[in-house]
Every structure is written in C-alpha cells, then in structure tokens.
Amino acid sequence: MSFPMKPSLRKYFIMGSQNCDHNPGDILEAAAKAGITAFQFREKGPSSLNGNAKLELGKELRAICRSYHIPFIVNDDVELVELLDADGIHVGQDDRSAEELRQAFPNKIIGLSVSTTDEVDRSPIDLVDYIGAGPIFSTTTKTDAKAAVGLEWIQTLRAQFPMLPIVGIGGIDTKNAKSVLEAGADGVSFISVITQAEDIAKAVKAI
Ligand code: 3NM
C-alpha cells in the first residue's frame, strides 16, 4: 500500500513500550481511532523490549495500523521492517545509511533525522521520503536528545528544500504544534503528549 507523504506526516505518533505505563496496543488503538496519520514503532532506550517480545509487540501494533490504514514505520531495525512488512523505516544520523536503505527498500518510506546544517550537508536528502527535524523544543523523552534547535530550524530547512516533506519532533504538545506548521513543517511528530495524556482522543484532536 502506498501513502501520500505530506498528509501522512500531519499527526505522526511515535511510541515504544518504554514510553507506556499501560498497554501499548490500547494507546495506539485510541490514537489511531482519534486520527493520527502515521505511526512509528520506536522500541529504544532503557527498559525497551528485544528479540521475540519486540517482534510480538510489533505484530500487534502493525495490525492496528493496517486496520486504520495508516503507515507503520519502524525505527532503525531493518530485520523488523522485513518481518513485519512495515511501510517504512526511520533512521538517525548514526544508524544505517540512507543509501543502503534505499537499495534494500526501493519502495518503502525512508525517514531521516537531521538536527544541523552539517548533517544536512552529509545526508543524501534526495534518497529519503521525509526528514525529521528536531528537537524543536526541549524534551525529556529521549535521554540522549540534543539541545533544542527551535522553530528556526524548520524555517531554514524549508527555505533550502521547498518541496521536501518535513516533520518536526521534540517537545511538541497541543499548544505549540501549530507554531511548527506555521514555521513550514508538513506535520508534527510526538510521543509523550499522547502516551501521558489523560484523554488520548482529546489530545490527538487538539494537536
Ligand atoms: N527524537 P516527545 S526528540 C524520538 O530530536 C525523538 O530527533 C528526537 O518525544 C529528535 O514528543 C524525540 O515526548 C523525543 O518530546 C520526542
């Protein structure tokens, strides 16, 4: 199945079990029902799952995305992309190269994180389907996140790449999401605003 890229980035939810204090499947189901437009399975960091437990959770989350017709993107795990027939893969600067991924997955979505001009200069932007720009605001969700780069980073990228699908990430919530779009992003991606929401449907709609 293919997905139109820019509309898919509009409300892009990211989650792994380490972000959840209750059932991840229930959280994703609620978010999908409320209107997220893409999902990234990011099982990473302290207390995340490995091996078969990661695969089993991935199968459950993959099935939810299929039933809501939203792209299921795996963070930095080529084997899992294949096992789950994911719609795409998202990588950071220190992960597999975009060249290698494009060769392995000619028809899947490839997303790449970029935080600085140097990283842009070193990246084969023409080989990826979208870029993740951040952290826009400060975040405590990713323990090794860099310092916040601010909305100016979106404006810089948009000026350099007028047509490229861009999604902002890092510290995005119901109050500041609009400013990220106004700065030129096609969408926002977020973890804690949903995983820690008292009312997931309300939070997705407010974004
Ligand atoms: N990547 P929250 S910031 C996974 O800057 C991730 O590349 C980032 O979580 C980057 O929405 C981040 O809770 C964490 O701030 C986003």
Q: Which atom of ligand 1 is nearest to the CA of 190?
A: 11
pLDDT of 130-176, one tens digit each? 999 999 999 999 988 889 999 999 999 999 999 999 999 999 999 99
- The pTM of the full predicted model, rounded to 2 decimals, is 0.98
CATH for 74: 3.20.20.70
pLDDT of 173-207, one tens digit each? 999 999 999 999 999 999 999 999 999 999 999 99
Q: Is 139 marked within a binding site?
A: yes
Q: Which domain holds residue 162?
A: 5-206
> In terms of residues, how long is the chain?
207
Nearest 5°: the CA angle 192, 133, 27 is 25
- Cα dist. 96→52, 75, 106 in Å? 22, 11, 15
The domain tally of the chain equals: 1
Given ligand 1 and candidates 141, 192, 193, which is best to mutate, with the most ligand atoms within 8 Å of its CB? 141
Residue 8 annotated to the active site: no
Return the closest-CA partner of residue 150 out of 165, 137, 164, 132: 137
Residue 17 annotated to the active site: no
3-state secondary structure (DSSP) of residue 43: coil
Cα 161 to ligand 1 centroid, rounded to whole Å: 22
Q: Is 192 marked within a binding site?
A: yes
Q: Is 175 marked within a binding site?
A: no
Band the pLDDT of 85: cuts 50, 70, 90.
Answer: very high
Rounded to an integer, what is the distance from CA 137 to the centroid of its chain?
A: 15
pLDDT of 203: 98
User: What tokens were used for 162?
Assistant: 């007028």
Check if 8 has its Cβ closer than 6 Å to any atom of ligand 1. Answer: no
CB 129 within 8 A of CB 165: yes
Packing angle, helices 51-67 and 24-34, rounded to 10? 20
- The C-alpha atoms of residue 85 and residue 88 are separated, in whole angstroms, by 9
Given ligand 1 and candidates 169, 196, 200, which is best to mutate, with the most ligand atoms within 8 Å of its CB? 169
Check if 167 has its Cβ closer than 6 Å to any atom of ligand 1. Answer: no
Show Cβ contacts of residue 45 under 8 Å, excluding neighbours closer than 6 positions.
16, 18, 142, 143
pLDDT of 2: 87
